[in-house]
């Protein structure tokens, strides 16, 4: 499910302001890097089940290094075409994965089953940010434990996991998308601290037609619990 053009940048900005390394509060601009000693490291973002989400383009234009994975080939082609990004095919990995990438290599999208992607065949073994824009809510309940295991393995120990999910009355509708409120997220991401950031109504005529009287978009940010 793709967010409206107005909502997506709002969520990006809200999350990044809370996240970040490099936020300049005076100018409200974002620096997509962190400094370690004398080194300035560009932050890496992983976007599961990315489709052709506008979020990826926004993160890319902000200077982050972005990796997405999408099952279908058409949304990948449309993403690069609609955003006028010249592409190249990367060399295949040792596990036969190939990515469609921008010429500068700052954004790459792999096609296929998300569960077949691992630390061995992604462009990077770990990511500073997991950008879960409606991905968790698209995963069947029986597959959620291994989804959490996969995404957790990709997140650095100092990283942040952003999640956009939906919440509604389960007595009125059973999905898709599958509802994921704060309690559900805490249940599956038990090793992370979960912070609620925002709730915004997304009820429209489509969702009223399926019987919903309310439907909200939720924004959470998670990080590893300190021991």
Encode the chain (227 residues) as per-residue pLDDT tens digits: 233 334 444 455 555 554 443 334 334 444 555 544 444 457 899 999 999 988 888 888 888 899 999 999 999 999 999 999 999 887 665 555 778 999 999 999 999 999 999 888 899 999 999 999 889 999 999 999 999 999 999 999 988 899 999 999 999 999 999 999 999 999 999 999 998 988 889 999 999 999 999 999 998 989 999 86
In whole angstroms, what is the distance from residue 103 CA to residue 75 CA?
Answer: 19
pLDDT of residue 15: 55
In whole angstroms, what is the distance from residue 166 CA to residue 219 CA?
Answer: 9
Q: What is the pTM for the complete model shown?
A: 0.84
Query: Domain limits of the chain?
Result: 48-125, 136-227
pLDDT of residue 93: 58
User: What topology is assigned to 136-227 in CATH?
Assistant: Rossmann fold (3.40.50)
Candidates 129, 123, 71; CA nearest to 101 is: 123
pLDDT of residue 226: 83
Q: What is the pLDDT of residues 11-48, one digit of tens each?
A: 555 555 544 433 343 344 445 555 444 444 578 999 99
Residues contacting residue 112 through CB under 8 Å, at least 6 positions apart: 69, 71, 97
Residues contacting residue 123 through CB under 8 Å, at least 6 positions apart: 67, 90, 99, 108
């Amino acid at each position: 499910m793709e967010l409206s053009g107005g909502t997506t940048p709002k969520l990006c900005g809200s999350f990044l302001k809370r996240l970040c390394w490099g936020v300049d509060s005076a100018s409200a601009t974002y620096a997509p890097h962190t400094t370690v000693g004398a080194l300035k490291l560009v932050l890496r973002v992983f976007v599961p089940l990315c489709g052709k989400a506008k979020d990826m383009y926004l993160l890319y234009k902000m200077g982050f290094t972005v990796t997405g994975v999408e099952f279908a080939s058409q949304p990948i082609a449309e993403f690069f075409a609609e955003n006028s990004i010249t592409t190249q095919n990367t060399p295949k990995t040792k596990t036969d994965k190939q990515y469609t990438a921008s010429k500068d290599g700052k954004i790459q999208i792999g096609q296929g089953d998300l569960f077949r992607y691992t630390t061995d065949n992604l462009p990077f073994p770990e990511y500073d940010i997991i950008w879960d824009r409606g991905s968790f809510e698209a995963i069947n309940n029986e597959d959620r434990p291994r989804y959490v295991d996969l995404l957790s393995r990709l997140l650095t120990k100092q990283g942040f996991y952003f999640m956009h999910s939906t919440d509604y009355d389960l007595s009125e509708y059973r999905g898709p998308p599958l509802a994921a409120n704060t309690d559900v997220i805490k249940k599956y991401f038990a090793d992370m601290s979960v912070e609620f950031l925002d709730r915004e109504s997304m009820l429209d005529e489509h969702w009223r037609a399926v019987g919903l009287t309310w439907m909200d978009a939720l924004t959470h940010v998670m990080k590893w619990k300190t021991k």
